[in-house]
Amino acid sequence: MADNGLLSAELRLAGRLDERFFKLLAAVAATGSINRAAKTAGYSYKGAWLLLETAANLAHAPLLTRSTGGRGGGGSQLTATGISLLEAWTHLQRASQAFLREQEAWLSQQPALFGTLRRIAMKTSARNQFVGSIAQIDVGPVTTEVRLSLRGGQTLTAALSSRAAQELALHTGQEAMALVKASSVVLVGDFAGFKLSASNQLAGTISRVARGAVSSLVGLTLPGGVVITASLTNDAVEAMDLAVGQPASAVFKASAVMLAVSA
């Protein structure tokens, strides 16, 4: 895997000998013990033996030699075949890593694609992840409000501490990612003449209702194609009689929005 995780590849020899298998071989070479090697590689003793025996049968050559008793108490060593397999794995793994680093360097010279992959690579539990450009920053003594322009023309507001805003070195025109938990999103089908204090009120059309045992995930597609997901109880879905194609608004507080910017 490349250092920042944008590219990865699983190396296997003969379609079945993977990193864990060679970790076992390397541990046998280092410890001289199947038992200790199995623990190092995360196998049971029986599981390690079965794996090594199967590989040896397919290779038509033993991978280990065993000795018992004697002054050293016996042990296990790799045969010439086992050593050659381990050396081949080490060489190919280094070559694979070098290839990935080379391609990573090529990717870094494709700004748009590189940025897209970096955003996709970010791992977070927040269901909603929106990318936009910072349009406005209102700095207060304690809290800073940031307005993010999204694809489709919608504006999203985030409220964070002024110290956090300073540490992120936020500035207008900067690309940022907004993270919002699905549980923080309230769906409103009809405001009935009322106004809500929540800073974010995004109107769209219900495009998905995925029911679970207790709760449902409701997708709301905004103009421009951005989809925001809300987590509602099944009772709430039934009470609002939500269905695909209905207009609705996703409502959430500015304080429910977490901002992320490129380091």
Q: Where are the domains of the chain?
A: 19-108, 122-260
Looking at residue 135, its pLDDT comes to 95
Let me know: does 171 contact 137? Beta carbons within 8 Å: yes
Contacts of 29 (CB under 8 A, 6+ apart): 77, 78, 82, 83, 86
Which CA distances in Å does 148 have to 33, 68, 97, 177, 204?
59, 70, 38, 9, 18
Where does 3-79 have alpha helices with state H?
19-31, 34-41, 45-59
Tokens of 246: 């209905």
Looking at residue 54, its pLDDT comes to 86
Instruction: Please name which of 211, 200, 205 lies closest in space to residue 235, comparing C-alpha atoms.
Output: 211
How many residues in total does the chain contain?
263
Tokens of 85: 């397999």
φ/ψ of residue 109, rounded to 5: -90, 5
Is 254 strand, coil or helix? helix
Looking at residue 3, its pLDDT comes to 44
Tens digits of residue pLDDT in 12-70 = 888 888 999 999 999 999 999 999 999 988 899 999 988 888 888 888 888 998 876 54
Give the CATH number of domain 122-260; options: 3.30.70.100, 3.40.190.10, 3.40.80.10, 2.40.50.100: 2.40.50.100
How many Cα neighbours within 13 Å face the side chain of 49?
Answer: 9
Contacts of 104 (CB under 8 A, 6+ apart): 2, 3, 4, 6, 7
**Against a cut of 0.75, is the pTM above it?**
no
DSSP 8-state code for residue 169: T
Looking at residue 68, its pLDDT comes to 66
Pairwise CA distance, residues 35 & 43, whole Å: 9
Pairwise CA distance, residues 220 & 44, whole Å: 49
Looking at residue 105, its pLDDT comes to 85
Quickly list DSSP for 96-151.
HHHHHHHHHHHHHT-HHHHHHHHHHH---S-SEEEEEEEEEEEE-SSEEEEEEEET
Task: Show the low-confidence residues of the chain (pLDDT under 50).
Answer: 1-4, 70, 72-73
Helices first, then strands: H and E counts in the chain: 7, 12
Classify domain 19-108 at the CATH topology level: Arc Repressor Mutant, subunit A (1.10.10)
